[in-house]
Copies of this chain bind each other. A is one copy, B any other.
Amino acid sequence: MPWRDGTGPPWWHGKFRGCGYRLTASRQAILDVLSKTSKHLSAEDIYLKVHKIYPAIGLTTVYRTLELLVQTGMVFKFDFGDGKARYELSEGPRSIGHHHHLVCTGCGRIVDYTDFIDDEIELLNQTEKGLSKKYNFKITNHLIQFYGLCYRCQNIK
Contact = CB atoms under 8 A, between A and B. Distances in A.
B149 A102 contact: no
A141 B131 CA distance: 22
Copies in the complex: 2
A38 interface: no
A155 B132 CA distance: 15
A104 interface: yes
B131 A137 contact: no
A18 to B, nearest CB: 16
Contacts of A37: none
CB-based closest 4 A-B pairs: A79-B79, A139-B148, A136-B151, A143-B145
Interface of A: 71, 77, 79, 81, 102, 104-105, 111, 113, 115-116, 119-120, 123, 126-128, 130-132, 134-151, 154
23 contacts: A79-B79, A102-B135, A105-B140, A111-B135, A113-B131, A113-B135, A115-B130, A115-B134, A119-B127, A120-B127, A123-B123, A135-B150, A135-B151, A136-B151, A138-B149, A139-B148, A140-B148, A140-B149, A141-B148, A142-B147, A143-B145, A143-B146, A144-B144
